[in-house]
Each structure stands twice: as structure tokens, then as C-alpha cells.
Structure 1
Amino acid sequence: MAYIINPDRNTPWNGLPELPIDSEQYQTIEVYEQLGNTKAAIGRLQGRSIVIPNQGILVNSISLQEAKASSAIENIFTTDDELYKAFSEQQSQPQGATKEILNYREALWDGYHYLSNGGAIDRDYFIRMYRIVSQFSDGIRTPIAQIYIKQGGSGPNAGKAHYTPPRGAGVVEQKLDNLIEFLNNDDKFPLDPLLKMAIGHFQFEAIHPFRDGNGRTGRIFNIHYLTQKGLLDYPILFLSRYIMEHKEAYYDGLAGISQRGSWKNWILYMLKAVEETATLTYHKINDIIAAKDAILDAIVQKGDIMRPELLVEAIFTQPFTRVKHLTDQGAYAENTARKYLDQLSDMGILEKRAVSRNVYYLNLELYRILSE
């Protein structure tokens, strides 16, 4: 059965076909070969991540990078320094791009805990994620919201409608409910979760259920769906980096379905994104562990630092460390914490930076690994 495409970019696509799509759209040798490679890569990542004693080393650092890359897809940019410093200041009020990126990270973790504690990927889940990333308090958009996706750039078609999502009383809700049933009912729709994630991501973006933040919400969903299905224990997949580096192909893939019914190319793109991202994250984990072990050995050999394991755990939980991080954890008294961080700075492990009235200690190796 041919996929019914979007006939007019300027008219709401109320004819967006419900899921599931016809199996002929993805039952190809090419798709299944890529699916095998992707499952192997994400399995290797999962096997490596579960042996790390302190998941905070990963979840703080890699989730911040994921948040930064996802926001960059929406042309929301900040520097690593601004981002990490804002995160290290738990009581501060970041503004602009940094605030939006930290909102993404908050949604990433809020949704993970929501699902881990018995929640489901349902309307409440999607609205919850949207509200965190957008900081709006409404829910599914009403027909009053004249939403359409504009063409970018500066050419003759810039600003014109590139795509107009469904609109009308109950239309968006009905299509979102169909997506939710497809994702959750594995008896009725027995499909590999990686294929469901790829199909579900397009469908969510095509429905475009919210006034803002649909791209970020959809990318958060990708990671949550993989954790919910047991492919990952923690949301540590650095997926948005691949999409950012292949941004044009990402949007071409979305348009390819709505305008040409080209599901195979989209599914191959998403599977390749997960494969390469899983491999990238796997190597980052190995690099972080190797750097952590090397630094711990150097500190132990120095011999005059008490509880060196606690100190190393602290400086690898996030790139920027402050004295208060160590005192708040009860690891050391204030003077001792400052003395030890200064010693690591003298050893070339940390770089001491004074910003306004605050002093930060940058873990040079962790910063390098995350920036690569």
C-alpha cells in the first residue's frame, strides 16, 4: 500500500496517515542489516555503562552535551564554559540559551525518573516534557494556534510554509493517541523498538502537538523510549550530536516522508544515528574511565590527600568543581577542600579560574573528552 503523502504544504496535513505504516516501507535487506549493526552498537554501550561505579560521571557530563547539541539544532547556542558554570551553580538563575539548555537536561532526567517510577509514554508524559523544555504551562495546541514550519535561509522561499501540521478540533489529540498506542501496544504492533522509535519520532514531529519545543521534546522522547524498552539503563546516548552534524539530512528525511513517502531513507538515517552515537558514547566512556584512573593513580602517589577516591569522583561528576561541592557532600572541610583543589591545580590536573567573585576548578581532561 502506497503511503499517502502531504498534497499541499500550506494546508494542515489532517490526512497524516495513522500508524502503523505498511511493513513494505521497512522490510528490506538494507534496513535489517543496519538494524543489526545498530543493535550491536547500543548493546556494546549498555554493557560498558553498567560497570561504571558512579553513573554521575556519565549522566551529568554527557546529558549536558546532549542538551547542548539538541538545542543547537534549534539555533540555541552557548559556550561550554557558560553551560558548565551555570550547571555548577545549582542556585543560580541562568538566562537565554544556557537556561534553555539546562531546561532540556532537566526534562531528560525528569522524564527518565517519571518513566522509571511507573509512568508511561502517554499524553501526560509528552505534555510534561514540553512544559519543561519550553517553560510554558499550556498543553496540546488548540486550533487557534496557526502553526506552520517555515523554510529557512535567505533565498526566495525563505519564510514560506515548508510544512503545516494537522489542525482542528480534536485532530491533534486523536493523532497523538494513535502514536501513543503504537508505541505502547507491543502485542498489537510487534515491531523492534529501534524501528518504533524511528517511526514514532517522525510521527511526533509531523503531528507537532505543541506551540513550541516539538523538536527538543521529540529528541528527548527518542532517548526515553530506548531506556523504557531496556536498551539502555540510563539516558546517556549522545544522539543530538549526530543530528546536529547531519542536520540537512535530518530535515530532508522528515520532508521525504511527507512529500514522497520515503520511509526507508528516514529509518536508515535514524538507525545510523543511533549506531554512530552509541559508538561515540562508548568511546567517551572509555576515555573518561581511563582519565579518571590515571588521575587517581597520580593523586595516590602524591600521598598527602585523604580519601583520594572521593576527590576524584567529585571532579569527574562535572567539568567545573567548586569548593562548595566538596563541602556540601560532606567530603572535606572548607579549608581542606580548597587546599586539595589548589594542589590538583598545581599538578596540572585542574585549571583554576576566577570569575567575578567565584573560583572554579576545571577538570582539563574531562573537558577535553567532552569537547571532542
Structure 2
Amino acid sequence: MEAGRQGRYVTCNGAGEPYRAFVPPPLPPQPPLAFGGELIGLLEEANRLLGRLDGLATALPDPQLLLYQYVRKEAVLSSQIEGTQSSLSDLLIHEMEEVPGVPEDDVEEVSCYVRALNHGLERLNSLPLSLRLLREIHAVLLSSGRGATKQPGEFRRSQNWLGGTRPGNAEFVPPPPEQLMDCLGPFETFLHDPHTPPLIKAALAHVQFETIHPFLDGNGRLGRLLIALLLVEAKVLQYPLLYLSLHFKANRPEYYDRLGRVRTHGDWEGWLAFFLRGVIHTAREAAETAQKILALFDADRARIAQLGRLSGSALRLHEHLRLRVVSSAGVAAEKTGVNRSSTVTALNKLIELGIVRELTGYRRNRLFAYDAYLVLLSRDTEPLPP
């Protein structure tokens, strides 16, 4: 363990037995980060690809075309790391409130993540990233579902732990509650540090938040959400199009190992290399997916334009499905202003063209998906094995 980075263990008592809780040192790490050639190269490449991704979004006539779906993809991936079995399709169907029979527990957690991120983005317009804002976002994140009884919006007043059945046999025990604010005060100060580059700040803050574990539940999801909020606040990204949880999900054992090695060995450099490689991979993947999506839109629009008298209503329907990849006839008619009968006719024509697929097999309460678009968005969002 590198001297000066190790933090300290404090001995506590709970349920009649002693246990050791870990109290991390404040950020930034001391001794300072060793930025060798590899880390500098990774940081430069990560910043370049983030700039490319942000530029692509800025050039769009309507960035909401991708933002709506990408935020939901990140929500699904982040929640899957915590063990939910909800897919992107489940979430999009869940959001169609008139449709019965959608599994509730897992998909409600993902839906709360979407609302929490949107709340945080909106509040950044008037409030800096702070402990107050994190409590607000946490309250939204746990507003319903399984975490609703775990003190939403409140820092914990009792000991939590990771792994094991109690603190005495846990894999990791965060700071005891009476020392929580001693950790969170310097953490908030670091969030406002003007000298740490934004990507490095996001990487360091994520680990520190996970180590402090200030809430009874939802720390993992909020810690990953914190990355997006920091990058948007620093104007590295205008829109949170980086679904970095894809990297953490695909490399889940290494993700947890890297977090652990920071605590046990002070290995911030190893974590940063892992984090920056994830930014590089995910930013590249997000930009390539965006380009494929835009090419798909152009190709399908050209095909629809050949439909003759049906082309007008079908093009308006296509416009709607670009923003809402899963929809119903009723919602589509309401959003496009096309009457329901013409909407159904247009949907059937798009099904014939292979652009739209009916999802339910029902005669009523049917749902329709922009099929190739949903396939592109759903890449790598299959639930992890339980």
C-alpha cells in the first residue's frame, strides 16, 4: 500500500462484535498522481473522443433524437450492474403507461434512474454539484421501488457494508456514520476543485463516493450517475451521451477489483487507466452507433417518401418513432396530430416495409417498435446472469 494514500481503519462495535470500518483520505490523492506516458496518452485520446461525440450531438438538428434513448440505455446498464434483470425494451414499454402486464420491480428501478438523472441535469442550471444536490437526486432515485424504504434523500445514520451478512464478516465496511460528514465535507470541496481536469475529477470522485457509501441504498447507481453530471457541469459534454456503465458492466470483475485496489493499495493510477480506457471505448461506440442510427433514419425516410399518398402520414409517424422508438397507435396519433385511422394504416404500411414490428401479439393495447433502431440501441443491454 502506498504511504499517504491508504486511509485508515477504525475499530467499531456493532451487534455485540467488533469490526473495522475504512475511512478514506481526502482527494486529490497524496502523493500526487503519477502521470506517465500511458495515462497522458489515454487522457488525450479520451478527451478527443468525447469532443467528437459532443460535436456529433451538437450538429444534430435535434439532439433529443439521441439523448432520450442514450439516457435510458445508461440507466438500464447501470441498474444491471446492481443485479436488475430489466432490458431497454422493458423500460420503454414500462413508460407506455396504458400498457398492462409489464414487470414492475426491476423496471421501476431503471425508470427512477432516468428521472434522477434528468432531475440532476435540470438542477445543474441553478445549483452546483454539491451534497445538497446529491441528496435531491438520491431522493428521486429511491422515490419508488425496492429502495423506497431506505431513507431516500438522507445520508445514512447507521452502518452499512458490502458483502457478508454483517459488518463483522463483510468484504468492505465504509466509514461509520459518526465520521460520515468528516469524509463528505472534503469530498464536496473536491467537486469544486478548479485544478483537476474534468475527466480525472470524475474518475476520482466516483471511487471516493463508492468508498464513502453515504446512503443506505443506491450508492452504486448514484456514483455512476455522478460521472455524467460532472462531465456535463464541466461542459466536457453538453448532453450525457456517454453510457459508461457499458464498460463497467462488460468488465464487472475488474471494475470491482480496481475499486478495491484503490482502497487496499492506493492504486489510483491503475483505476484511472481502467476508467479512461472505458471512456475511450464507450465514446467511440456511442459515436459509431449514433452515425449508424442517423444513416438508418435517412435510408428509411427515403423509402417512406416513395409511398405516394400515404407518405405524408407515414413520414410523420417515422418522425415520432425516431424520438420514441416504442409507441402505440394512440400515442402516435396524439403526438403526430394524425387521426387514429390514418395512423394505423401508416403503421401497417411500415410493418410491410419491415421498418416497424408489432411487439405484443395482442389485438388490443398493441405496441410497435422501430425495429432496426431498437436493435442498434439495445446492443450490449442484455441482463447479466442472475
Give the direction of change, closer, same or farther, for the CA distance of 1:66–1:138 in structure 2 (3 Å limit).
Answer: closer
The C-alpha deviation readout for 1:57-105, integer Å capped at 9, x for no partner, is 2122221111111011001112343222112337878611011111111
Deviation at 1:330, TM superposition (A): 4.4
- SS state at 2:177 partner: coil
Match of 1:97 in 2: 106
Q: Distance in 2 between matches of 1:334 and 1:273?
A: 45
| 1:191 correspondence with 2:196 | yes
How many residue pairs get matched? 360
Match of 2:49 in 1: 41
Deviation at 1:53, TM superposition (A): 1.6
Match of 2:330 in 1: 324
| 1:301 correspondence with 2:306 | yes
Give the direction of change, closer, same or farther, for the CA distance of 1:298–1:138 in structure 2 (3 Å limit).
Answer: closer
Counterpart of 1:361 (choices 360, 365, 368) is 368
Q: Distance in 1 between matches of 2:73 and 2:319?
A: 19
Counterpart of 1:271 (choices 255, 266, 276) is 276
Match of 2:75 in 1: 67
Letter paired with 1:358: N
Q: Distance in 1 between matches of 2:89 and 2:6?
A: 47
Counterpart of 1:121 (choices 107, 122, 129) is 129
Q: Is the 8 A contact 1:227 1:233 kept in 2?
A: yes
Q: Is the 8 A contact 2:135 2:155 kept in 1?
A: no
Counterpart of 1:139 (choices 153, 157, 167) is 153
Deviation at 1:271, TM superposition (A): 1.2
Instruction: In structure 2, list runs of 5 or more residues that go unmatched.
Output: 12-18, 380-386
Deviation at 1:300, TM superposition (A): 0.6
- TM alignment of 1:1-372, pairs within 5 A: 2-7=4-9, 10-14=19-23, 16-22=24-30, 24-89=32-97, 95-115=104-124, 117-135=125-143, 136=148, 137-143=151-157, 145-150=158-163, 160-169=169-178, 171-186=179-194, 190-304=195-309, 305-306=311-312, 309-354=315-360, 357-372=364-379
Letter paired with 2:238: D
Q: Distance in 2 between matches of 1:203 and 1:18?
A: 8
The alignment's TM-score, normalised by the length of structure 1, stands at: 0.90
Deviation at 1:201, TM superposition (A): 0.6
The C-alpha deviation readout for 1:268-289, integer Å capped at 9, x for no partner, is 1111111111111001100110
The C-alpha deviation readout for 1:92-145, integer Å capped at 9, x for no partner, is 786110111111111111111111x212111121112212222235434344x2
- SS state at 1:50 partner: helix
Q: Is the 8 A contact 2:314 2:346 kept in 1?
A: no
Deviation at 1:358, TM superposition (A): 0.7
Deviation at 1:309, TM superposition (A): 4.5
Q: Distance in 1 between matches of 2:81 and 2:215?
A: 18
RMSD value over aligned CA atoms? 2.3
Q: Distance in 1 between matches of 2:99 and 2:355?
A: 27
Give the direction of change, closer, same or farther, for the CA distance of 1:364–1:358 in structure 2 (3 Å limit).
Answer: same
Q: Distance in 2 between matches of 1:259 and 1:241?
A: 25
Q: Distance in 1 between matches of 2:153 and 2:372?
A: 42
Give the direction of change, closer, same or farther, for the CA distance of 1:60–1:90 in structure 2 (3 Å limit).
Answer: farther
Letter paired with 1:130: H
The alignment's TM-score, normalised by the length of structure 2, stands at: 0.87
Letter paired with 1:148: W
Give the direction of change, closer, same or farther, for the CA distance of 1:175–1:355 in structure 2 (3 Å limit).
Answer: farther
Instruction: In structure 1, list runs of 5 or more residues that go unmatched.
Output: none
Give the direction of change, closer, same or farther, for the CA distance of 1:177–1:8 in structure 2 (3 Å limit).
Answer: closer
- SS state at 1:362 partner: strand
Deviation at 1:6, TM superposition (A): 4.7
Q: Is the 8 A contact 2:140 2:152 kept in 1?
A: no
Q: Is the 8 A contact 1:237 1:281 kept in 2?
A: yes
Letter paired with 2:222: T
Letter paired with 2:357: E
Give the direction of change, closer, same or farther, for the CA distance of 1:315–1:45 in structure 2 (3 Å limit).
Answer: same
